[in-house]
Amino acid sequence: MVNIQRVAKEAGVSVATVSRVLHDQNTVTAKTRLKVEEAIQKLNYQPSMLGRNLRKSESRLLLVLIPEISNPFYFDIIKGIESIAISHNYNILLCETDSSPERENIYFDLIRTKMADGIISMDPAVNMDALMDLAEKHPIIQCSEYTAEGEIPYVTIDNEAASYQAVKHLIKIGNEKIALINSNKKYLYARQRKKGYQRALEEQGVVVRKEYIYHTEHLGFEYGQQAVKNILKVNDPPTAIFAVSDLLAIGALKELHAQGLHVPDDIAVVGFDKIHFSNMTNPTLTTIAQPMYKMGTLAVEMLIKRIKGENVESIILDHELVIRESTSG
């Protein structure tokens, strides 16, 4: 491996000058610069980031924590993150935690050992205490899922309002018996979306029925299917379902179809996230769109500011109800 010393020797200058040329400093005469550039060319020199990183005490790596890479909800967020990160000369370590604290801890160690410069956490299952601890010493931003208790800045949407709007829509098209397929209560977004659901019903003077609320262990088609199986068993079954994730809603559609029910005539369905798939189902899925790409770009920008030592404010972005076939005969 040819290093900066070798180049300096070849060009007949000092390593400092080579470094200056490398960083486009204009304190170098055109003539010297040329000599150095020729030497670099000739030796096919590529500066080692290992040396630079140690010297500057940075890794230029950013951690992005997600529970599951297979949830399409994260796609556009990641794309947003990636595009901004690259333009700032950072790279992204996509960390799938599988909601496991051990796995999580491996990634936290990456920060502690200087292998990474900051974290964007999108993992609702993350050990919040550990995260807040880490945030005392390291730059961290929360994206989508967050905790308001600590000091960690976040970018997200108003989950309660979004959920409220979804259920309002179901009410407006004539439903009062509305089931909720929710995810695990331990997640803030789950509690917030439940609140929106309740508020919409109560405002309408409809009593919230426990049998209509189903909590799933994880997000995934199977869980949506299972939820519908349970929900249809109750006396006086619902005429509409609101699922807090498109994955659950798509599983629900599948199971409803298996049971011979027609959507939306027999039962209406609303999802959440507007993942790409949700337009390929039959019927297409009414859902809440989140500005995922924007969320991603904002999250990195905030993180990079934090790394530079600047302060940042949390941000709440707008959502949008997208009405498609599953709620409109």
Least distance from its own copies to the Cβ atom of residue 61, Å: 8
The only residue of 34, 38, 54, 258 in contact with DNA, by rule CB under 7 A: 54
- Residue 293: C-alpha distances to residues 83, 240, 244, 275, 303 (Å): 10, 30, 20, 12, 16
The only residue of 34, 38, 42, 48 in contact with DNA, by rule CB under 7 A: 48
Contacts of 113 (CB under 8 A, 6+ apart): none
- The Cα–Cα gap between 72 and 134 comes to 28
Q: Is 56 in the site for DNA (CB under 7 A)?
A: yes
The only residue of 41, 44, 50, 233 in contact with DNA, by rule CB under 7 A: 50
Considering the complex, state which of residue 17 and residue 290 has its C-beta at the smaller distance from DNA. Answer: 17
Which does residue 317 touch among its own copies, DNA, none (CB within 5 to 8 A, set by kind)?
A: none
Category of 76 on φ-ψ map: left (φ > 0), alpha (ψ -120 to 50) or beta:
alpha
Q: Is 57 in the site for DNA (CB under 7 A)?
A: yes
Which does residue 221 touch among DNA, its own copies, none (CB within 5 to 8 A, set by kind)?
A: its own copies
Considering the complex, state which of residue 54 and residue 280 has its C-beta at the smaller distance from DNA. Answer: 54
> Residue numbers of the site for its own copies (CB under 8 A)?
1, 46-51, 53-54, 57, 59, 61, 69-70, 72, 75, 78-79, 82, 86, 91-94, 96, 103, 106, 109-110, 112-115, 221, 250-251, 254, 257, 276-277, 279-282
∠ at Cα 59 (55, 61), nearest 5°?
165
Q: Is 14 in the site for DNA (CB under 7 A)?
A: yes
Least distance from DNA to the Cβ atom of residue 316, Å: 37
The only residue of 15, 173, 234, 307 in contact with DNA, by rule CB under 7 A: 15
Least distance from its own copies to the Cβ atom of residue 69, Å: 6
Task: Name residue 280's amino acid.
Answer: M
Number of C-beta neighbours around residue 151 at 10 A:
8
- First-last CA distance in the chain: 67
Which does residue 32 touch among DNA, its own copies, none (CB within 5 to 8 A, set by kind)?
A: DNA
Eight-state DSSP code of residue 200:
H
Number of C-beta neighbours around residue 204 at 10 A:
14
Least distance from DNA to the Cβ atom of residue 29, Å: 4
- The Cα–Cα gap between 40 and 2 comes to 10
Eight-state DSSP code of residue 286:
B
**H helices within 243-291, ranges in order?**
246-258
Which does residue 31 touch among its own copies, DNA, none (CB within 5 to 8 A, set by kind)?
A: DNA
**Inter-axis angle of helices 128-137 and 101-112, nearest 10:** 0
The only residue of 9, 37, 52, 127 in contact with DNA, by rule CB under 7 A: 52
Q: Is 112 in the site for DNA (CB under 7 A)?
A: no
Contacts of 154 (CB under 8 A, 6+ apart): 141, 142, 143, 146, 148, 314, 315
Which does residue 15 touch among its own copies, DNA, none (CB within 5 to 8 A, set by kind)?
A: DNA
Rule CB under 7 A: which residues touch DNA? 1, 3-5, 12-20, 22-23, 27-29, 31-33, 47-48, 50-52, 54-57
